A and B are shown apart, each in its own frame.
Chain A
């Protein structure tokens, strides 16, 4: 009798362990989950937070669910997917490796190739064909960024560009023409010198331009100088090409001219954000950052007298910018790939409009802002509509021009190299930049070291690569 009781007890314990781990933990946690009603197919989306205030996500999800009888969008948040946070993909990696991925995931575009190259995503070409989606309507460089090995691995969602902003009042003060931004790298140096002021203690009160502040990275200066960073076939790392070395030398020169990285660091450490953004407070006269920064400027200081243009290049010609952005991808072994494609097709074409409308409402009602600068969509027809609705109606010429400069920059935007070691390249370039500006290594040495690390990983990858179907 006692033995039976003992066995029963152990059995109960065992069952309780198994049942608490085995249920499908992916469905049923979004607020829109109704627990699978009827024969609606539930499509799980990772990286969409319907509770994020003012994002318009809630309205977008509701609009989708209302307009699609057979599919229900179940959104779930994942870490590091808001704004410019580096996406934390550990949860996604674990889910894909376990064979239990979400149907759709939000992916930083330049890492899509990393996933695709290792067979973690479902290629979208057949779905694009059968649904009649015209992929050419997406901005060219956004599509190129998610094309690897001849296939398309995600649908681009949004994009950003990097442009030069300058404070016209500070220009006037320094005796420069407020309507003419610097055109060449030499002019940038000269203007920076004229726009930098220090107090009697030698501390900065105003800096003309900080090459590492804002949103630039070695990609900006390298691309401007004609660098490629990666060979056409994707097998040779070109981080230490002469063009990149020259670009880094320019950055170091600029930093040194201002007094060195440590001195500048002490000043930038006092920068704050939002309403006290250094560009708004006049601490920085010029900066290169993402076009979306205009949203902050219009919100906190709509009367700021500023201008926007493409960043200055070594010779004044070949004005370009680089772009990043997000995308929606379907992991391999997703349970409902066809329905998932329906969802992402709607999200990138129609959904963005609903989202932006709700965000604009919030912007006006809750935040009390007069102007709304929409997010640039990767899908061009949507983008045109957004511009017409929100920007053309603006009565502030400064802001309208700045938004248009950012949008037009898409025409000359380059994407970061499509590579299975994209993250590593990004980190190594950042490291090389730091080493050079702190004078721990010369630009050539720093880039040689970075190139060596990346080339090793590339070689390892290509030696073992077998194209997946």
Chain B
């Protein structure tokens, strides 16, 4: 008899729980699951938003392989990722190391360095368009200060991507916060022990700081990869993909296919290919991580 009673009560509680969770469940199904499944289905169709979609199987995926712009946009995006992610990590870590000191007023500096990363991307795109102005931009002045000739930044096909990479470094403060937290978690005792053995600054960094920070670094690497593969706003607002398609990034090309050429099916296929690429990279990172990421044993 006791077992039956607890079953009934357990079931009652379970139902109550589900009822409470139902708004979220409904929201998830309607606004997340349904669009995702639709997107997969649309990628197998020819859909121009205004007319009923036509089933074409994997033709969209087959078309991508022969699409010159697909490879170009993928190349542009990879170029951006390869430079932006490591640089962001290095700079973020450097700032965090500098600001991990316990001096008076350090909180002000930490705030100042963090603020750029919370500026909305659209606003900072407008701001940086001016920074990159070949006549009056701050960057142009900075370069000329050293007696060098300033490039045309966003108007030069060779400098457009590097310019956007430089712009992304402005937000390195976002990573800084996370590294600071990671640094705070390294027990002082390790450093003290190392100092007793006569370790200098560099040795301490390589043998204590980096290994202890490796989970944080790993996290930042994965998040950085996922985020920077989807670079879009800067190109959309500042260059429109130019000059000469040098900043035609993957998501920008996707957006164009969807909303300018009205090829929703093809755009959906592009989206899923991007998902697959990021997924594979993330998985590879996890596989490689066991060689360099040390989880805290204390």
Contact = CB atoms under 8 A, between A and B. Distances in A.
Interface of A: 3, 6-7, 10, 13-14, 17, 88-90, 93-94, 96-97, 114-115, 118-120, 262, 265-266, 268-270, 272, 421, 423-424, 427, 431, 434-435, 438, 440, 449, 457, 460, 464
Given A97-B50, A464-B54, A265 B155 contact: yes
A460 B45 CA distance: 13
Contacts of A438: 157, 244
Contact of A434 (B19, B68, B245): B245
A269 B58 CA distance: 43
A115 B54 CA distance: 18
B245 A431 contact: yes
A93 B259 contact: yes
A431 B244 CA distance: 7
Given A7-B19, A10-B22, A13-B23, A269 B50 contact: no
B260 A10 contact: no
Nearest to A114: B262
A330 to B, nearest CB: 15
Nearest to B156: A265
A427 B16 contact: no
B260 A115 contact: no
Interface string B59-72: 00000000010000
B106 to A, nearest CB: 41
B218 to A, nearest CB: 37
Of the candidates B22, B23, B26, the one having the most CB atoms from chain A within 10 angstroms of its own CB is: B23
B15 to A, nearest CB: 9
A90 B152 contact: no
A6 B20 contact: yes
A119 B50 contact: yes
B68 A449 contact: yes
Interface in B138-180: 152-153, 155-157
A114 B135 CA distance: 40
Contacts of B19: 6-7, 10
Contacts of B156: 262, 265-266, 269
Contacts of A88: 259
Contact of B135 (A90, A265, A270, A421): A270
Contacts of B260: 423-424, 427
Contacts, number: 78
Contacts of A94: 49
A440 B245 CA distance: 12
Interface residues of B, number: 30
B215 interface: no
A93 B134 contact: no
* Chain A residues touching B, majority SS: helix
B291 interface: no
24 contacts: A7-B19, A14-B26, A17-B23, A17-B27, A88-B259, A89-B259, A90-B259, A93-B262, A96-B49, A97-B49, A262-B156, A262-B157, A265-B243, A268-B155, A270-B134, A270-B135, A423-B260, A423-B261, A427-B260, A427-B261, A431-B245, A440-B244, A460-B46, A464-B54
B48 A118 contact: yes
B51 interface: yes
Nearest to B158: A262
Closest 7 CB pairs of A and B: A269-B155, A269-B152, A118-B50, A269-B134, A434-B244, A90-B259, A120-B50
Contacts of B54: 464
Contacts of B262: 93, 114, 118
Contacts of B20: 6, 10
A424 B51 contact: no
Contacts of A421: 261
A300 B262 CA distance: 41
A88 B20 CA distance: 41
A10 B16 CA distance: 11
Contacts of A269: 134, 152-153, 155-156
Contact of A96 (B22, B50, B135): B50
Contacts of A431: 245
A393 B156 CA distance: 45
Interface in B1-44: 16, 19-20, 22-23, 26-27
Contacts of B27: 17
A113 to B, nearest CB: 12
Contacts of A435: 244
Given A6-B16, A118-B48, 19 more contacts: A10-B19, A10-B23, A14-B26, A93-B259, A93-B262, A96-B49, A97-B49, A115-B50, A118-B262, A262-B157, A265-B155, A265-B156, A265-B157, A266-B155, A270-B134, A272-B135, A424-B260, A427-B260, A434-B244
Contact of A424 (B26, B46, B68, B261): B261
A54 to B, nearest CB: 22
Nearest to A10: B19
